[in-house]
Amino acid sequence: KNQVEQSPQSLIILEGKNCTLQCNYTVSPFSNLRWYKQDTGRGPVSLTIMTFSENTKSNGRYTATLDADTKQSSLHITASQLSDSASYICVVSDEYSGGGADGLTFGKGTHLIIQP
Amino acid sequence: ETGVTQTPRHLVMGMTNKKSLKCEQHLGHNAMYWYKQSAKKPLELMFVYNFKEQTENNSVPSRFSPECPNSSHLFLHLHTLQPEDSALYLCASSPETGRHEQYFGPGTRLTVT
């Protein structure tokens, strides 16, 4: 059964500090992995998408890494800001569905709080 | 804004009520989705429409009834819901189904009393 596990479940850090969120998956065969940011009361917004051949992808202060051999991904946030407070969701797509919605496996998310 | 709007944003309904959730996308996409998001659980895909045709129904109870009159609008009709149906209901759209990024609406926070 395809699974996506995220850690930690929640995290509190001070403004200006860095942090790293983890995503481990068992989805096979792998198609792509996305990180979403979901602000409270809003829908998820895509931060990055990575395919099998990509190891690192950046979006401003957000940097995602992917190790397809160990089936692990991380999202690193640099110089955190209060606006980074949100849930971060890892979503992995399998090849069987052609990457379609029925082949998406969602993690439960990491709830990040940035304190001033 | 993602180009996907949902109304109402909040809804409280009794178990005997009938209500509808509305989703509209202004992105020219052909695929639309309904998801359920419960606390401490991953998003659950409920329904998928591609070019107005339903392509996925992930064993959703019949008390949830989707309707897609055109590629820009998606409805979720609700009747005789249970308290465990209380959740955030998210609508999303993408150019087509497949390896396309989905754009999510803000969601409707539903409480069933």
For A23-70, the pLDDT digits (tens) are 999 988 888 899 999 998 889 999 999 988 899 999 999 999 999 999
pLDDT of res. A100: 56
Rounded distance between C-alpha atoms, residue A23 and residue B90, angstroms: 23
Q: Positive or negative CA dihedral for A27, A31, A37, A41? A: negative
Instruction: Out of A85-89, B73-77, B94-98, pick the least confident.
Output: B94-98
Rounded distance between C-alpha atoms, residue B111 and residue B14, angstroms: 8
Rounded distance between C-alpha atoms, residue A63 and residue A70, angstroms: 18
Q: What is the mean pLDDT of residues A11-32?
A: 95
* pLDDT(B84) > 60: yes
* Closest chain B CA to residue A5: B42
Model confidence band, residue A8 (pLDDT cutoffs 50, 70, 90)? very high
* Closest chain A CA to residue B95: A100
Rounded to the nearest angstrom, the minimum Cα separation between A83 and chain B is: 16
Q: Which position has the token pair 């001070």?
A: A14
Q: What is the mean pLDDT of residues B72-87?
A: 95
Instruction: Out of A112-116, B13-17, B50-54, pick the least confident.
Output: B50-54
Model confidence band, residue B83 (pLDDT cutoffs 50, 70, 90)? very high
Q: Which residue type sits at A72? A: Q
Residue in B42, B58, B99 nearest the CB of A106: B42
Q: Which position has the token pair 């068992």?
A: A26
Q: Positive or negative CA dihedral for B14, B16, B20, B21? A: positive
Q: What is the mean pLDDT of residues B72-90?
A: 96
pLDDT of res. B46: 93
Model confidence band, residue A101 (pLDDT cutoffs 50, 70, 90)? low
pLDDT of res. A102: 66
Q: Which residues of B touch A (CB under 8 A)?
A: 2, 4, 31, 33, 40-43, 45, 48, 56, 58, 90-92, 94, 97-102, 104-107, 109
Structure tokens at A48: 């990055």
Residue in A49, A98, A106 nearest the CB of B101: A49
Model confidence band, residue A96 (pLDDT cutoffs 50, 70, 90)? low
Q: Starting at the earlier edge strand, list the strands of the sheet with A56-59.
A: A4-7, A19-25, A72-77, A62-67, A56-59
Q: A89 to chain B: which residues are within 8 Å by CB? A: 42-43
| CA–CA distances in Å: residue A59 to residues A36, A47, A50, A75, B108 | 12, 7, 12, 10, 28
Model confidence band, residue B100 (pLDDT cutoffs 50, 70, 90)? confident
* pLDDT(B65) > 70: yes
Q: Is A48 on the interface with B (CB under 8 A)?
A: no
With beta carbons less than 8 A apart as the criterion, state whether B78 and B21 touch: yes
Model confidence band, residue B64 (pLDDT cutoffs 50, 70, 90)? very high
Q: Reduced to 3 states, what is the DSSP secondary structure of residue B39?
A: coil
Average pLDDT, chain A: 92
Q: What are phi and psi of A24, to 5 degrees?
A: -115, 140
With beta carbons less than 8 A apart as the criterion, state whether A72 and A17 touch: no
pLDDT of res. B101: 83
List the single best residue of A23, A52, A104, A111 to mutate versus B (max B Cβ within 10 A).
Answer: A104
- H/E segment holding residue B108: strand B108-112
